[in-house]
Amino acid sequence: MFKNYDELVRFCQEQEVKMIDFKMITPIGRWKHLTIPVERLTPAILEDGLAFDGSSYGYLPVEKSDMSFIPDLTTAFMDPFWEVPTISMIGDVCYCGTPPRPFEQDPRGIAKKAERYMREQGIADEFIIGPEFEFYVFSHIAYENLPQRAFFEIDSHQANWNMGDNSGQNLGYKTPHHGGYHVTAPWDITRDLRNEMCLCLEKLGVPVKYHHHEVGAAGQLEIEIEFGPMQQWADKTMLLKYVLQNMAIRRGFTLTFMPKPLYGEAGNGMHIHILMKKDGKPLFYDANGYSGLSQTALYAIGGILEHAPALTAFTNPSTNSFKRLVPGYEAPVSICFATANRSAVIRIPGYANRPEQKRFEFRCPDATCNPYLAYSAVLMAALDGIERKIDPVAAGYGPYDVNLFNLPEEEKKKIKGLPHNLEAALRALEEDHDFLLKGDVFPEKLIEVWIATKMREVRLVNEFPHPQEFFLYYDL
């Protein structure tokens, strides 16, 4: 938004901005923030940053936890969720010092290093992505997990389970189970909410491709944004989640990107469309190639499929993620590629046939990821495939232009599958992460910390008794 300090000051004076808010990302992908009065903003803050406790973010141990946040003026935006006129900015995490030194494990810094490594190798100038965001908007959510009581309770005014609700006036028009895809009014009760979300995103520089109701009857929605450079689009991913969550609360709803909040309903993914450019020209198009793809594109696909189990530790980093990655819900479980096939991990869209449109879609990620780490890991896998010339056909990854869920069991066994749970994904990352270390993009320490952090989540979930266990075993 701004090129320099003077532009920012002039804007603040003209718009009567009162506060400056700095949004910093934690390792797992959650924004935290720190706010100062606009009068306290100085050129020194933009150069040396603001000090904060890195141990509270999970970056450094408490005995050496002083860190610095360096704001990025180009990310500034008028924050629509503050009553007092406020500008928000994203930025980078650094070690304290003069000048501040980049922190090797800063997720945003890793995304910058991944793009720099790509350019240094001469493979491409741009790694362009287009994420699709699926989420549920509910009318009510409650959950508790105590030694003597554990539950979650969800409600959605439009859900089919409310068809027989006699507690008050019931006007019908409940969405059929698995029947939500592209429903219109009066079934689609959140259309105006999505319009407001998209208008807000557009105003904040997040270009929206379209929005619609998704398959899930209990208020599953999708907003897809246009394509852009990876690191900038990681910024926009965080901004989109911030806007959607706050806008839902403002309108009296609650919103979740959880991959599988409801048993038996469609899960939430974050499919990533991918293409590369060099000297402004698309690298993935070849009229004579399979589905119009160049050999470079096929090598990129080969790298992503080769490292797919390890990638899921970053692209699907929650225990809930793997409740979505099961057969029968258009969620991919087989490590393969195909054209227009939503049961494959990588799908080549059948409708994108112009040279500048030619791309592929990585379908397993979800929005519980840290987008900087997830997008960077996918880029590094693609680069590894291109550097090592991993041919996905020769490697046995397809193409499988059939419904993989309908294959005979013997045929299914020939196709490698994604990890069945987060622990298996973390084990895969532990065994296969050398491709992430190239160019010092991912520090070994970050991978160690990531695995340890996520394994604690696995153990925590495993240690709590599950309600279904009572149905199975209580009276045995």
Catalytic residue among 188, 222, 235, 384: 222
Phi, psi of 2 (to 5 degrees): -125, 150
330 marked as binding residue: yes
271 in a labelled binding site: yes
Residue 135's nearest CA partner among 31, 208, 213 is 213
Residues 6+ apart with CB under 8 A from 79: 21, 86, 87, 88
Q: Which of 108, 213, 271, 347 is catalytic?
A: 271
Q: How many CB atoms lie within 10 A of CB 3?
A: 9
Catalytic-residue membership of 361: yes
222 is a catalytic site residue: yes
User: Which candidate in 6, 7, 47, 53 is catalytic?
Assistant: 53
**Given the residues 115, 361, 366, 423, the one annotated as active site:** 361
Length of the chain: 476
Tokens 């549920």 sit at which residue?
A: 136
- Residue type for 391, please? D
324 is in an annotated binding site: yes
Helix, strand, coil percentages for the chain (3-state, nearest 5): 35, 25, 40
| Catalytic residue chosen out of the listed positions 126, 214, 366, 423 | 214
- Annotated ligand binding at 214? The verdict is yes
- Residue 214 falls in the annotated catalytic set: yes
**Considering 363, 384, 423, 433, which one is annotated as catalytic?**
363
> Do the annotations mark residue 361 as ligand-binding?
yes
Distance from C-alpha of 346 to C-alpha of 282, rounded to nearest angstrom: 19
Catalytic option among 126, 134, 265, 366: 134
Active-site annotation holds for 347: no
271 part of the active site: yes
Q: Are 53 and 66 in contact (CB under 8 A)?
A: yes
433 tagged catalytic? no
Q: Which amino acid is at 441?
A: V
153 among known catalytic residues? no
Q: Is 177 annotated as a binding residue?
A: no
Asked if omega into 71 is within 30° of 0 (cis), the reply is no
Angle at 96 between CA 91 and CA 98, to 5 degrees: 100
132, 265, 366, 384: the active-site residue? 132
Among 178, 251, 342, 427, the active-site one is 342
DSSP string spanning 277-325? EETTEESSB-TTSGGGB-HHHHHHHHHHHHTHHHHHHHHS-STTHHHHS
3-class DSSP state for residue 105? Answer: coil
* Whole-angstrom distance, CA of residue 317 vs CA of residue 57: 18
Q: Is 388 annotated as a binding residue?
A: no
Strands 31-37 and 19-25: antiparallel
Residues placed in the known binding site for L-glutamate = 324, 330, 342, 363
Residues placed in the known binding site for ATP = 342
Residues placed in the known binding site for Mg(2+) = 132, 134, 214, 222, 271, 361
Which positions are annotated as active-site residues? 53, 132, 134, 214, 222, 271, 342, 361, 363
Residues placed in the known binding site = 132, 134, 214, 222, 271, 324, 330, 342, 361, 363
